[in-house]
Amino acid sequence: MRGHFRHVQTTYPGVRVFHENRIDIPHGAEVWTPGPDAESIDLVVTFGGDGTILHASSLFSAGAVPPVLSFSMGTLGFLLPFRECVSDVIDDWMYNRIPDIDDFAKALESVYSGKATILNRMRLACNFYNTDLAKKGSDGDDWQVMNEIALHRGSSPHLNTIDIFVDGQHLTEAVSDGLIVSTPTGSTAYSLSAGGPIVHPSLSALVLTPICPRSLSFRPLVFPSSSVITLRIGDRSRAPAGVSMDGRTSHVLNPGESVVVQASPFPVPCINRSSIVETLTDEHLEGAGPGKEDDWVRDINNLLQYNATFRSKALLRHSRT
């Protein structure tokens, strides 16, 4: 990553570079701490797996998120469009796979020249309430979620009983291992594993997916982004519900307590790889080359192998050799 930092210093000398306060901060970068008094950021660049962009989203929980340019160093990287060129290097006695500097330079050039396009990935705003309907936490203390919020029974052997309200109307009483409310981006994460639908990330919608429901007729539902979903732990529930948001444990809701979930006004603007004009190298690896195609369509085929038969899998492997 130090080579990428030097490239920015050399090519864009007037640009200030910030980094989280960690031991691997590059020499010359300024320390950035999130908060209401934090320095304004114009562009976020991430290196890592899907969890890296989720972490970047969590750093801007109080307001708008800057455009995010993401490079994959993980295995799947469904949220990370720039994954083609990687180099195996030894950096500070550690073996790493890092994006090729040419790939990085072309992506930055596209951003600074105004050629990059973005996909606004919606987030969820979550607020928690106690049994007296008093809000937990201070005003404005919303939890911003990019993938999903999940209520689950945790280590309890008993099923959760959760009352679901949509726009103030009682929808149903769910008896299950838990419930997931996800964004379209999160529809290919935990929700998909629980049997939820795949939703295109350019849509604005809320996906409600049960986790191992007792009733076989309890199927996933998709609501418009204008809907407000309230999940209240039923008074007859034999177990509290653990709450995890984007994989982070946050709360425990006891019977009578609730969480209100709605679309956040602050999406995550992700830069599309297909907006990069110049062709990148190593085209035989995961993903297709840049062009006019939808990044998401390419990814559900190449990464999730959507509806792949034995024949189509063989053709896909042959096309990469």
Catalytic-role residue among 42, 50, 132, 299:
50
Which residues of the chain are under the pLDDT cut of 50?
Answer: 84-97, 278-292
Element holding 210 (H helix, E strand): strand 205-213
Return d(Cα 187, Cα 225) in angstroms, integer.
Answer: 14
Instruction: For 257, list phi and psi in degrees, rounded to 5.
Output: -90, 160
Q: What is the pLDDT of residues 220-246, one digit of tens each?
A: 999 999 999 999 999 999 989 999 999
**What is the per-residue pLDDT for 41?**
95
Six-digit token string for 229 = 């979903």
The pTM score is: 0.84
Burial of 25 per CB tally in 10 Å (0-12, 13-18, 19+)? middle
**What is the per-residue pLDDT for 7?**
86
Residue 50 among the catalytic residues: yes
**What is the per-residue pLDDT for 286?**
45
Terminal Cα distance for the chain, rounded: 29
Six-digit token string for 96 = 């790493």
Q: Using the structure block, give the residue that is written with the tokens 């709605």.
A: 262
**What is the per-residue pLDDT for 186?**
95
Structural contact between residues 73 and 95, judged by C-beta atoms closer than 8 angstroms: no
Q: Using the structure block, give the residue that is written with the tokens 């937990």.
A: 136
**What is the per-residue pLDDT for 86?**
47
**What is the per-residue pLDDT for 24?**
83
DSSP-assigned letters across all residues of 38-101: PPP-S-EEEEESHHHHHHHHHTTTTSPPPPEEEEE-SS--TT--B-S-EEEEEETTEEEEEE-H
Fill in the DSSP letter of residue 135. B
**What is the per-residue pLDDT for 75?**
61
